[in-house]
Amino acid sequence: MGMRAVGNQAMRTIWRVSFAAVWLAIPAMARAAVVEDNFELRRASDLVSLCTADAAEPLGTPALNFCQGFVTGSFRVLFDMQAAIPNPVICMPVPSPARNDAITAFSLWAKAASARLASPPEDALFAFLMAQYPCPKPFR
């Protein structure tokens, strides 16, 4: 085997190892570890971090529980407030989606635009619900 063939083989091996390393790192980059500051819920990105936590992480189970409690509580407050207005803006389908399915959909929706991640979590959740489950426009 000539020097050029050895060099080409070495480059292919380096590229394969590099590709494999990047490929294996993608899931870790997509799901950052939850930190205690996320529980302050300053931005929607904090809520998304809690809602997409890995239960195997040290803060994973508390994060998922906090997410579910926050989303459920916010959802109920929004619907109680909406009951007081003549033309609601959010109309849930019957049957309603499963809680975890809705939380996953919210997380994907929020990650799709950095402006959404920067907004307050309750505002982002309300915007998601309005976008995902709009009510028909009333006739005038």
Residue 33 binned pLDDT confidence (cut-offs 50, 70, 90):
confident
What's residue 31's pLDDT? Answer: 55
Region 21-45: mean pLDDT is 69
Are both 14 and 55 inside the same structural domain?
no
| Cα gap 52→105, rounded to integer Å | 11
Choose between 22 and 68: higher pLDDT.
Answer: 68
Q: How many residues does the chain have?
A: 140
Q: Examine residue 105 and state whether it is found in any structural domain, yes or no.
A: yes
Are both 19 and 58 inside the same structural domain?
no
What's residue 55's pLDDT? Answer: 94
Number of structural domains (the chain) is 2
CA 3 to chain CA centroid, Å, is 50
pTM, 2 dp:
0.74
Are both 2 and 46 inside the same structural domain?
no
Nearest to 130 by CA among 51, 10, 116, 6: 116
Q: Examine residue 140 and state whether it is found in any structural domain, yes or no.
A: no
Q: Is 74 exposed, middle or buried (0-12, 13-18, 19+ CB in 10 A)?
A: middle
Choose between 5 and 114: higher pLDDT.
Answer: 114
- Cβ atoms of 45 and 81 closer than 8 Å: no
Are both 24 and 36 inside the same structural domain?
no
What's residue 129's pLDDT? Answer: 96
Q: Examine residue 39 and state whether it is found in any structural domain, yes or no.
A: yes
| Beta-bridge partners for 134 | 90
Are both 100 and 51 inside the same structural domain?
yes
What's residue 93's pLDDT? Answer: 92
Give the domain range for residue 125: 32-132
Amino acid at 64: L
Q: What is the pLDDT of residues 83-131, one digit of tens each?
A: 898 889 999 999 999 999 999 999 999 999 999 999 999 999 999 999 9
